[in-house]
Amino acid sequence: MTQLLDRLLQWPARVVAAASVLVVMVLLFVLGPYQHGDLGPDAARMSLVGGLLHVVAGDSEWLYCPVVPVVALFLIYLRRRELAALPVQGRFVPGLAIFFLGLAMYWVGFKADTMYPGFLSVHLVLAGLIILLGGWRWMTALAFPWAFLVFTWPTIPLEDWVAFPLRMMTAELSTDLLHLIGIDVVREGTGLYSAPDLAHGLEAGKLFKLDVEVPCSGIRSLSALMMISALYGYLSLKRWWPRFFLFLSAIPLAVAGNIVRMALLALGSMWFGSDFAVGRVVGNTQEISFYHEMAGYSVFAVALAGMFAFSTLLEGKHWKRLASLGKRDKQVALQAPLAEPRRQVLWRGTLVMALAFACLLVCAVTGQQPPLSPSGVVMQFPLSLGSLQGINQEATAQEINGLTEGVKIERKLYVSNERQMLATIVLSGPARRALHRPDICLPGQGWSIAGKMEVPVRLSDGREINVMMMRLFRDSINESGKLVRLRGLNLFWYQGYGEVHTADYYHHVFLTYFDSVFKNLNHRWALMSFFIPYAEGELSAGDPLAEATAMEALRAMIGQVAPMVLKKPGET
């Protein structure tokens, strides 16, 4: 043991520190079993890196993510001379505190069985190691490569959260652009339609009918463009404030690229037909045309061109800086580093490796998943509601194919002489986040979302709950060959165990993980959804009175039904 210690003490302190960082990172994030992902609770846990590769393999939009750590190492290599001159002067207390916080986040993600606290853990653990073993000057020198690693992680929840506002913005600005170039457009929500032309016998939507779906919103390209802008600014711009503004410019540039994309699709539909420009619908599948694929590249063409132009505006000499990439002042390399505390670095490196191993043991002992709670609902609607008669509605084959194991659906259509209303309960199974957002499911069924907001509903037992209200519309061709629009309202919320309920999807996700970690409660969530169609007719601004009447009818229905299907506290 003494001989081994003597040999280790002969190594440079920075080598010992680098080896310690490598061992801890591999142990926790490459080898350590961490999450099940979408494989189900009975499958073996994947490591955090394994989970990342699993996501990338299933969605080509994130193919660039595994490349980011390689780029970060290249950025460190570019500063090798400067780093060689830095002294190894670790800061024990702040470094160890940040390292412990990273281990805590690692445990939270393990306990909640989700990758995102693990992503944060990577950054905290790495920052803690750099400060603990190297010191503040090393953390400052490595700040950008460390921050750049954030692009390693797929931002799937952020995609869902940001996509809808971007879709609305893209639709509105695309309409303005088409009007500017002389094309009349009718817009409702995220849908764009050619305006009617009575002189030529053209109905609304005859020349083109487009919808700004998630791929056209800009969200799919935004993360990649922000990564490119951050990297390009760091390498080509000298000052931090131009780098910051270039990074922020990726957001409007992504939107601008998608506006051009929508304009190209509209023009292509007018000139060559919708099948050529957009694609054909074969069965229930939308086939994307070659023109549509090529129009998608306009997003990056516009964004990159704007990025280069903006860089030139900020710093005209950025091309010369990029050409001299990697060239540093050789005088920096001649500065001799201070004496390196090898023994200190060695015992600190041993400490963090031991703590990482202890963290894995704690996860193995305390990370058992809590049992699935009883459902908070009764999976049976009443046969009738006053004058409304209930008719059982079976789940479609498409819905069944999209369900995860253990998910159940109860649905009834309530009809009267005046109207129809559809009530649905989707009860989750053992898998986490088994319920989809209606924002995703409804467009897949042909509905477009015109807007949404949270509204209160008074129940017949005196309780008041907040639900999410979505305005919907769906276009079709009637028997006369005219384009008609069916409008509808959807009120929904998420019901957990006991009195836990929320109208917001992301709040229900937060409660899932929070209660799992800190209350040992694994909610079996139910999506409570109530839908009413109204006002079928030609494209128009809609009838506010018809919407208000439908809204009151739906609220009255929920007020009657909810107390019958929601379990009381303590009821199993």
pLDDT of residue 212: 74
d(CA 536, CA 179) in angstroms, rounded, equals 28
pLDDT of residue 17: 85
Torsion of CA 24, 25, 31, 34, to 10 degrees: 110
SS3 of residue 360 by DSSP: helix
Largest CA distance in the chain: 96
The single-letter code of the amino acid at 115 is M
Do residues 99 and 28 make contact, with C-beta atoms less than 8 angstroms apart?
A: no
pLDDT (average), residues 273-288: 67
d(CA 526, CA 23) in angstroms, rounded, equals 43
326: pLDDT strictly greater than 70: no
d(CA 196, CA 211) in angstroms, rounded, equals 17
d(CA 569, CA 499) in angstroms, rounded, equals 7
Do residues 101 and 352 make contact, with C-beta atoms less than 8 angstroms apart?
A: no
For residue 391, give the H/E element and its range.
Answer: strand 388-392
pLDDT of residue 331: 45
pTM of the complete model: 0.75
Q: In this predicted model, which residue has the larger pLDDT, 541 or 352?
A: 352
d(CA 486, CA 474) in angstroms, rounded, equals 5
Closest CA to 254 of 310, 290, 301, 190: 301
pLDDT of residue 41: 62
Do residues 36 and 43 make contact, with C-beta atoms less than 8 angstroms apart?
A: yes
Percent of the chain with pLDDT over 90: 20
Count the Cβ atoms, other than its own, within 10 Å of residue 286: 12
pLDDT of residue 337: 46
pLDDT of residue 270: 81
pLDDT of residue 339: 45
Percent of the chain with pLDDT over 70: 78
The single-letter code of the amino acid at 231 is L
pLDDT tens digit string along 443-483? 656 677 888 899 999 988 888 899 999 988 877 666 666 77
Q: What is the mean pLDDT of the chain?
A: 80
pLDDT tens digit string along 12-36? 677 888 888 999 999 999 998 888 7
| 293-297, 306-310, 354-358, 511-515: least confident range | 293-297
pLDDT of residue 159: 63
Do residues 414 and 530 make contact, with C-beta atoms less than 8 angstroms apart?
A: no
> In b/e form, how buried is each residue of 332-345, taking b as 16+ CB within 10 angstroms?
eeeeeeeebebebb
The token pair at 33 is 């079993």
Residue labelled with tokens 């505006």: 313
Residues in the chain: 572
Do residues 395 and 386 make contact, with C-beta atoms less than 8 angstroms apart?
A: no
pLDDT of residue 433: 66
For residue 484, give the H/E element and its range.
Answer: strand 483-495
pLDDT of residue 570: 63
